[in-house]
Amino acid sequence: MEYVNKQTFKHYKRFCKILLLKDDPQLIEQYRKVHAPGAVWPEITRGMREVGILDMEIYINGNRLFMIMDTVTDFNHDKAMAELAGKPRQSEWEAFVSKFQVTSSEASAGEKWQLAERIFKLEP
């Protein structure tokens, strides 16, 4: 889906994804800490930008995560996720955060995070 940022009038694509964390309050608190401002490894955020991710937000509700990922307009999701998987320290990061997630330590970000389908939009 392509959007226009109303402040900058820039076009972008938006992807929304979901992932489950292990239902353990201590692990969830640790997951929050490794995603606090400045805590994510710089190689990870650099790799995201290099593949065309402009902005990303992750929301939490209990042990459910919801990600909003805004990208360049010509973003090819599958190609970018494959490219991201090969970036420096990306597989190390995925193995590290897998201890919090209901997933395998060998899974890539593209395999862990499941795309959500938009079924409603409030129209003007």
pLDDT of residue 8: 65
Which three-class secondary structure state does DSSP give residue 33?
helix
> Residue 124: which residues within 8 A CB-CB, separation 6 or more?
none
Residue 10 vs residue 82, higher pLDDT: 82
Let me know: does 15 contact 69? Beta carbons within 8 Å. Answer: yes
- In order of their start, the domains of the chain are 9-115 (3.30.70.100)
Is 3 in a helix, a strand, or coil? Answer: strand
Q: Which of 75-79, 103-107, 116-120 has the lowest mean pLDDT?
A: 103-107
Q: For the chain, how many helices (H) and strands (E)?
A: 5, 5
Using DSSP, state whether 2 is helix, strand or coil.
strand
pLDDT tens profile 33-77: 999 999 999 999 999 999 999 999 999 999 999 999 999 999 999
**Average pLDDT, stretch 104-123?**
90
